[in-house]
A and B are shown apart, each in its own frame.
Chain A
Amino acid sequence: MEKTIGNTTVNMGDDGYLVDLNEWNQEVATEIAQEEGITLTDEHWKVLEYLQNQHKKDVPLTIRNVGKSGVVDIKGFYALFPEGPLKKASRIAGIPKPVSCI
Chain B
Amino acid sequence: MIKNIVILGAGTAGTMMSNHLRRALSEDWNITIIDQRTEHHYQPGYLFVPFGVYEPEDIVKPIEKFIPDGVNLVLGAIERIYPDKDKVVMASGKEFDYDILIVATGTDIAPEETEGMMGPHWHKDVFDFYTLEGATALAKKFKDWEGGKLVINIVEMPIKCPVAPLEFAFLADAFFEQKGMRDKVEIAFATPMSGAFTKPKATEKLDYLLKEKNIEIIPDFNVMSIDGEAKTITDYAGKEVSYDVLVTVPTNKGSDLMERSGIGDELNYIPTDRATLQSKVKENIFAIGDATNIPASKAGSVAHFEGEVLLENILRYISGKELKEGFDGHANCFIETGHGKALLIDFNYTHEPVSGTFPFPGVGPLNLLKESRMNHMGKMAFKWIYWNMLITGRHLPFVTTKMQEAGKNFD
Give me the interface of A with B, judged by CB distance under 8 Å.
Answer: 60, 62-65, 68, 74-75, 77-78, 82-85, 99-102
Contact = CB atoms under 8 A, between A and B. Distances in A.
Given A74-B224, A77-B236, 7 more contacts: A74-B222, A75-B224, A78-B222, A78-B236, A78-B237, A102-B157, A102-B298
Which A-B residue pairs are the 4 nearest by beta carbons?
A101-B198, A78-B236, A102-B158, A65-B266
A77 B297 CA distance: 27
A102 B193 contact: no
Given A64-B266, A64-B267, A65-B266, A102 B237 contact: no
Interface residues on B, range: 20 to 34
A63 to B, nearest CB: 6
B338 interface: no
Interface in B214-256: 220, 222, 224, 236-237
B295 A102 contact: yes
A102 B296 contact: yes
Contact of A101 (B199, B220, B237, B296): B199
B308 interface: no
| A contact patch SS | loop
Main SS at interface, chain B: loop
Interface of B: 156-158, 162, 192-194, 198-199, 220, 222, 224, 236-237, 266-267, 295-298
A86 to B, nearest CB: 10
Contacts of B266: 64-65, 68
Contact of A102 (B192, B198, B222): B198
Given A64-B267, A101-B193, A102-B198, A75 B157 contact: no
B220 A83 contact: yes
Pick from A65, A82, A102 the residue with the most CB of B within 10 Å: A102
B236 A75 contact: yes
A102 B224 contact: no
Nearest to A83: B237
Contact of A82 (B158, B237, B267, B298): B237
Contacts of B224: 74-75
Given A63-B156, A68-B266, A84-B220, A102 B236 contact: no
Contacts of A65: 266
Nearest to B194: A84
A69 B236 CA distance: 17
Nearest to B193: A101
Most chain B CB neighbours (cut-off 10 Å) among A60, A74, A78, A99: A78
B155 to A, nearest CB: 10
B222 A63 contact: yes
Contacts of B157: 62, 100-102
A102 B269 CA distance: 15
